[in-house]
Amino acid sequence: MPQKRSNPHFCTTQDLSNLIIGPSGGMYVLPHEPWNEVYPGILIGDKHTALCTHTLKDIGITHVLNAAQGNDSNYYKGFVNTNSTYYNSVGIAYKGFPAADLLSFDLSQYFAEAANFIEIALQNKGKVLVHCYQGISRSATLVIAYLMLKCGMTAQEAIKTVRSKREIIPNNSFLRQLCDLNQRLAAQRTY
């Protein structure tokens, strides 16, 4: 018997995709800005924002979470080659994950660690930039996971929150991973 769709703790990739494209008339749209504050103290941005330490200091960034850490290769283009040393001179705390924006990549392995890093930044009255290459898929997925894990939001609520401030396009595998997280969190809350 199929699961009821009215249950807010049940979602499909199509449900989440519809929430993303709904505000733009049913189309995926790229962000108009290099970065946006999507939740108090949390910004999602692109590679160029992350590489400009003067901009980061100007907008008050104290922490950077790189969801695309690594060097571009013949195999995959889409990494941002930074590390903690890159930000040491400007006093910005850093965490990076070597995540690829591929359907085969398991980004969920970083959900808890990313959420903890963001939470520490906010608890210390900091401001965190979560970025990947374009600031639309890996970074958005990690912020949505944070809102689910630390703020008690469902996947739908978290996507609506982020999408109301920035155009995002998480890949379908990442959306499925968010649905899986949604189900796990709902099961934990019922016990």
Q: What is the mean pLDDT of residues 84-105?
A: 96
CA pair distance 145, 178, nearest whole angstrom: 7
Per residue in 56-91, pLDDT (tens digit) is 999 999 999 999 998 877 567 889 999 999 999 999
Residue 161 has pLDDT above 80, yes or no: yes
CA angle 36, 161, 58 (to 5 degrees): 20
User: Catalytic annotation on 11?
Assistant: no
Least confident of 65-74, 126-135, 172-181: 65-74
1 within some domain? no
The pLDDT of residue 71: 84
Residue 3 has pLDDT above 60, yes or no: no
122 within some domain? yes
> The domain containing residue 155 runs over which residues?
33-180
**Domain holding 172: CATH number?**
3.90.190.10
User: Where in 115-182 does DSSP place strands (E)?
Assistant: 128-131
Q: Catalytic residue among 11, 132, 151, 179, which?
A: 132
CA pair distance 88, 85, nearest whole angstrom: 5
Q: What is the pTM of this model?
A: 0.93
7 within some domain? no
Residue 97 has pLDDT above 60, yes or no: yes
55 within some domain? yes
187 within some domain? no
Q: 143: which residues sit within 8 A by CB, 6+ positions away?
A: 38, 39, 42, 44, 118, 130, 158, 162
The pLDDT of residue 76: 76
The residue with tokens 């939740």 is 39
Count: domains in the chain = 1
